[in-house]
Amino acid sequence: MSVSITDVARAAGVSASTVSRALRGQPGVSGEVAAQITAVAARLGYTASRSASSLASGRTFTIGVVVPYVGRWFFGTVLDAAEHVFSAAGYDVLLYNLGSPETRKRFFTKMPVRKRVDAVLSLLIPDEEESAALRSLGVPLATTVGGARPGFTVVGIDDRAGTESAVRHLVNLGHRRIGMISGSSGPQHWTTPIARRQAYLEVLADAGIEHDPALEADGDYTVEGGERAMTELLAAARPPTAVFAQSDEMAMGALRALRRHRLRVPDDVSVVGFDDHELADVVGLTTVAQPVAGQGAEAARLLLRQLDEPDAGQPGQVRMPIRLVLRETTAPPRPRGPQ
């Protein structure tokens, strides 16, 4: 088998407990002995068994990260940043990718993270039952999506403000028929699409524009969905001259649909996205930028802090800044003849 703590102890001529203390930098070991032990451990290629040490200490030095789709840019980027923070602090990351309802259900019923992690970062919005399941783990919890949730540290953005800046921009350009491609809120329990829709309606009302339900379509947060949604909107009796998409991926799908319909952007239709996807710049997409990696890193840091100071009181809530990035997909509506 592989080298254990007693092997190191024997080779160094000390007891296992001394090795344990020395390697973890605990006080109570003379510098000389500690150095000697460190050297021997390195020579033997010794690593403490996480299973054994967590069984003995109760700590796992592992963080569970729950993600709906690792493959999607937004989540991949959040995860990337969070992982860096965790690993720099000596924590490992256990990844749970819960795209389908089945995997999600399996996760929340079997709870494979139980007794396996010191904290959980959730990039999906748990419903009430799922939240309760997570809280029952008895470890610090955080999320980077959605609104406040009891027991969770939340790092997010101001969805209303972001949406307002986008839709106002279109209004200010002179648009009156402004469509919206929303992300579905269905099985994922997003509050995000709801908040953004509300803000959209408010800006329209503020501008004295009557809301037309025919100008709303569901894009399912995907490129294909965005394309479908845009196609729907174009089929309306009076199609929009501008569209706000609740994510850049849907906006890109919309761009594709517009191209297929031989409509020019922004001459015929303006498009605004949300996120500032890494490829938004490539397609020249005007969008609401949010610090995606920043949110992952911040959530990770807050989680680590809770781990360090267990009695720090209630989990906090952080709002990161957003900002409208003007590119080439928005312009004033084309002047038309009367009516």
Partner DNA sequence: CTGTTAGCGCGTTCAA
Partner DNA sequence: TTGAACGCGCTAACAG
Binding site residues, a copy of itself, CB under 8 A: 2, 45, 47-52, 54-55, 60, 62, 65, 69-73, 76-77, 79-81, 83-84, 87-88, 92-97, 99, 103, 106, 110-112, 114-116, 136, 138, 223, 252-253, 255-256, 259, 278-279, 281-284, 293
**Shortest distance, CB of residue 298 to a copy of itself, whole angstroms?**
16
Q: How far apart are CA 225 and CA 334, in angstroms?
A: 27
Q: How far is the CB of 55 from DNA (least distance, A)?
A: 4
The distance of closest approach from Cβ of residue 46 to a copy of itself in the complex, given in angstroms and rounded to an integer, is 9
Tell me which of a copy of itself, DNA, none is bound by residue 20, counting a contact when its beta carbon lies within the kind-specific cut-off of 5 to 8 angstroms.
DNA
Cis bond leading into 126, ω under 30°? no
Cβ(296)–Cβ(144) below 8 Å: yes
CB of 162 to a copy of itself, least distance (A): 21
- CA atoms of 113 and 198, how far apart (whole Å): 36
66-81 core/surface letters (b: 16 or more CB in 10 A; e: else) = bbbbbebbbbebbbeb
Please choose, from the candidates 215, 189, 172, the residue with its C-alpha nearest in 3D space to the C-alpha of residue 330: 172
Answer for the pair 246, 183: CB distance below 8 angstroms, yes or no: yes
Residues with Cβ within 8 Å of 225's Cβ and at least 6 positions away in sequence, in order, are 184, 218, 219, 250, 253
* DSSP SS3 for 92: strand
5 binds, among DNA, a copy of itself, none (CB under 5 to 8 A by kind): DNA
Which one of a copy of itself, DNA, none interacts with residue 313, CB within 5 to 8 A by kind? Answer: none
Q: How far apart are CA 299 and CA 141, in angstroms?
A: 10
The item of a copy of itself, DNA, none sharing an interface with residue 221, based on CB under 5 to 8 Å by kind, is none
Catalog residues that contact DNA under the rule CB under 7 A: 1-2, 4-6, 13-18, 20-21, 23-24, 27-30, 32-34, 46, 48-49, 52-53, 55-57
Residue 98 CB, shortest distance to DNA, in Å, is 24
Closest to a copy of itself by CB, 204 or 252: 252
